């Protein structure tokens, strides 16, 4: 295998376009419903990130991820995150991920961290993830077929959140658990005459819920909507430029209840080393 191929088995549905339109309308209708909520943190951000699964065998890949979030325009930093893990391909579009995350947040002036804190706030996170990807529809373009792809991602997180005071350091740690579900649709475009035209459009909705003894009064944590145009940079890299809206019922002191984000993401499936399939 010369590249990390995640193409799942073909699954077709006759009314795929109707479901896609319904998904897009549901996502867009969320924006005005929460637009009037007051904020306790940043309301506009720029999010730069790298997302990579770098295979070293036909079924195993090193997961590498990093992101840097800044207020928009570039006034002050909000967060940076580093993540490393192991991705396992199980076949038929099913994969799992086990990863560790280190994240640092900078409180927003006028934010609502509880207990009150100042300076950079650290977080250690462990996650377990199960992902299923399948093709929803197809259309022919000359001799090639393009497919609308749906992805369902289920994730559990164990979080250790530090409370720090500037000049003193971390004075307390709090444990929390969180579950996330993301539904993604990747819609390819026909080949355009212009070389700068995007190759696909990606849209997702993700719901965050808290659970366990430290979940608090409400299980609902946040809701994220995302839409982006994507450009394929060869067979193993892609670039996505889009918009993300994050709503949370309670501002966390760094990101407000409503945060509008400009997102720029580089995606990669470049292998760590070349591996070859030897005929038996």
What integer pLDDT is reported at residue 14 of this predicted model? 40
What integer pLDDT is reported at residue 118 of this predicted model? 66
At residue 42, the 3 state secondary structure works out as strand
Best CA proximity match to 148, nearest among 200, 198, 109? 200
Q: Give the list of residues 6+ apart from residue 102 with CB closer than 8 angstroms, or none.
A: 81, 82, 83, 122, 123, 124, 125
How much is the pTM?
Answer: 0.79
Please list the residues that pair with 112 across neighbouring strands: none
| Low-confidence stretches of the chain (pLDDT beneath 50) | 1-22, 24-39, 110-112, 143, 278-280
* Residues 173-191 pLDDT 10s: 999 999 999 999 999 998 7
Q: Which CATH class is domain 16-268?
A: mainly beta
Maximum pairwise Cα distance, the chain: 65
- Residue 191 to residue 89: CA distance in whole angstroms: 30
At residue 118, the 3 state secondary structure works out as coil
Length of the chain as a residue count: 280
Residue 130, sorted as left (phi over 0), alpha (psi -120 to 50) or beta, turns out to be beta
Strands 237-247 and 220-232: antiparallel
């Amino acid at each position: 295998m010369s590249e990390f191929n995640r193409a799942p088995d073909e699954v077709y549905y006759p009314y795929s376009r109707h479901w896609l339109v319904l998904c897009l309308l549901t996502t867009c209708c969320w924006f005005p419903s929460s637009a009037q909520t007051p904020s306790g943190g940043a309301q506009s951000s720029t999010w730069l990130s790298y997302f990579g699964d770098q295979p070293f065998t036909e079924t195993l890949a090193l997961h590498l991820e990093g992101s840097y979030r800044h207020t928009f325009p570039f006034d002050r930093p909000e967060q940076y995150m580093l993540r490393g893990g192991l991705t396992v391909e199980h076949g038929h579009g099913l994969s799992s991920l086990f990863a560790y995350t280190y994240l640092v947040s900078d409180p927003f002036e006028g934010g609502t961290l509880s207990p009150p804190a100042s300076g950079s706030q650290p977080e250690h996170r462990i996650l377990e993830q199960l992902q299923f990807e399948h093709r929803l529809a197809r259309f022919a373009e000359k001799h090639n077929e393009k497919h609308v792809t749906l992805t369902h991602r289920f994730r559990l997180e164990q979080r250790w959140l530090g409370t720090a005071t500037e000049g003193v350091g971390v004075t307390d740690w709090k444990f929390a658990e969180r579950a996330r579900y993301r539904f993604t649709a990747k819609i390819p475009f026909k080949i355009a005459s212009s070389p700068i035209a995007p190759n696909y459009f990606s849209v997702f909705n993700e719901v965050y819920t808290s659970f366990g003894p430290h979940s608090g009064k409400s299980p609902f944590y946040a809701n994220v909507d995302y839409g982006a145009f994507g450009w394929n940079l060869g067979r193993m890299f892609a670039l996505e430029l889009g918009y993300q809206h994050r709503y949370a019922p309670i501002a966390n002191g760094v990101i407000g209840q409503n945060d509008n984000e400009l997102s720029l993401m580089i995606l990669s499936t470049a292998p760590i080393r070349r591996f070859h399939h030897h005929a038996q």
